[in-house]
Every structure is written in structure tokens, then in C-alpha cells.
């Protein structure tokens, strides 16, 4: 399995994510700048957290126009896996790769704390090693993490089983306690909590490893099926 970690001006979680993928999860990974125009031969493309382009206008609003985004859309359209974390989630929504939008937290403050989540769908490329309704703890660090979607869109998301993670104690006002969801096809996930910050006991816990182990298992299964 090969993974690309995109790096935008202002990204500050790209190397953390690279460490979680490559060193802690055994996924061959490399940093790819936002100026890149091709994303060939990658199974997974990750859009990390941070403050891309200073979060001017809106979080992710400028990053969506980076040269690499055209290739990211092509990668997603052909079924390639995409993981967006925090600012990455915001970028994916701004780019139209995920439904809805992230707005300011209901208390209008930046929140940085460990947060309990519930894994509500284990039938996904991003959660298949977890147990149904398993409670995990991942750090959050965002000012604009309040997930919103129009009522009809939200109904479709729920009906399609696109919600993967929900907050146990909603910290930011996200509708339906949504902490992470996929596109309709299930190959693109956006989540506000940071799994890459929970991959070593030294960091306070290892609950985030399940996201990367799930992706690795998904890719290995696809490779096995293709070889039959």
C-alpha cells in the first residue's frame, strides 16, 4: 500500500500523519506538495490538519484551488481512498468531495482536548478493525468543527450509512453529533478528530491506529481479490 500526504502552505500535521502511516502503521508514505499536478500510483491520499493558506476567507477555501486538487478529484472519482483530517475535512467539503460544511464551533472558541467518540459504522475502509459502537478517544483541535448540512442532505447521509464516527459528548454543535463521515461511494472520509495524534501510548493512547489498520486491511483485501 502506498500513501501520499498532501502538504499545503500552513499545514502543521502533515509530518505527524506521515509518522502515523509510515512508522507506526507500516504504510509506505511520502509527502506531496500542494503544487504537485499528479497523484499517480497511490492507494491512499491523505489531506492533513493545520491552517492551509492561513485559513483566510474560510478554512480550506483557498486550498481547494491548489494544483494538486484536480488530481485528488480524479483519484477519488476512480475509487481511490482519501482521508481528510481536521483542516483536511474542511478542504474536502470546500472542494465538494464531501457533503456539508464545517462552521464555527457553537461556543465560538478553539477547542483542544481529548474527545470520546463512538464508532457507528464498521463497514467501511476506515473503520473495519473497530467493533460496532466501540468507544474510542481521539484528540480534537479546531475552531471550525461544527458540521452542518441541509436537512435533505443530512437525511441522505444518515440513510446511506455515511456517518462513521459520532461524538459521545458533542463539543462543537455538529448536527447529529457527526465527527466523521464518508461520501456516498464510501471511499472518501473526512473527520475532525486527529487519529494520527493517538498512535502511541506516549501521546496518551493508541485508539487512532484503528483508522490506519483499517485502511491497510482494506487495501490488502482489494489486492488479494484482484489477484484471484
The residues annotated with a catalytic role in the active site are 86, 194, 196
Q: Look up cell 497511490; give the residue.
A: 42
With contact defined as beta carbons under 8 Å apart, do 129 and 219 qualify? Answer: no
Helix, strand, or coil (residue 45) = strand
In which element (H, E) is residue 37 found?
A: none
DSSP state of 52: G
Quick one: cell of 115?
Answer: 474527545
Helix, strand, or coil (residue 124) = coil
Task: Find the length of the chain.
Answer: 228
10 Å Cβ neighbour count for 93?
A: 23
Quick one: cell of 139?
Answer: 484528540
Quick one: cell of 101?
Answer: 460544511
Quick one: cell of 7?
Answer: 502538504
Amino acid at each position: 500500500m502506498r500513501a501520499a500526504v498532501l502538504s499545503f502552505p500552513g499545514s502543521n500535521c502533515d509530518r505527524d500523519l506521515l509518522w502515523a502511516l509510515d512508522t507506526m502503521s507500516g504504510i509506505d508514505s511520502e509527502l506531496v506538495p500542494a503544487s504537485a499536478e499528479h497523484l499517480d500510483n497511490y492507494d491512499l491520499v491523505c489531506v492533513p490538519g493545520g491552517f492551509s493558506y492561513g485559513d483566510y476567507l474560510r478554512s480550506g477555501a483557498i486550498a481547494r484551488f491548489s494544483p494538486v486538487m484536480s488530481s485528488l478529484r480524479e483519484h477519488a472519482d476512480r475509487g481511490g481512498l482519501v482521508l481528510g483530517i481536521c483542516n483536511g475535512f474542511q478542504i474536502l467539503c470546500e472542494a465538494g468531495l464531501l457533503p456539508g460544511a464545517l462552521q464555527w464551533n457553537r461556543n465560538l472558541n478553539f477547542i483542544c482536548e481529548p474527545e470520546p467518540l463512538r464508532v457507528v459504522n464498521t463497514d467501511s475502509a476506515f473503520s473495519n478493525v473497530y467493533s460496532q459502537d466501540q468507544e474510542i478517544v481521539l484528540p480534537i483541535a479546531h475552531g471550525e468543527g461544527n458540521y452542518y448540512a441541509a436537512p435533505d442532505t443530512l437525511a441522505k447521509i444518515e440513510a446511506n450509512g455515511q456517518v462513521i464516527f459520532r461524538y459521545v459528548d458533542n463539543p462543537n454543535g455538529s448536527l447529529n453529533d457527526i465527527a466523521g463521515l464518508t461520501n456516498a461511494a464510501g471511499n472518501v472520509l473526512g473527520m475532525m478528530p486527529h487519529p494520527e495524534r493517538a498512535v502511541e501510548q506516549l501521546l496518551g493512547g493508541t485508539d487512532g491506529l484503528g483508522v490506519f489498520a483499517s485502511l491497510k486491511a482494506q487495501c490488502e483485501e482489494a489486492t488479494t481479490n484482484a489477484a484471484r
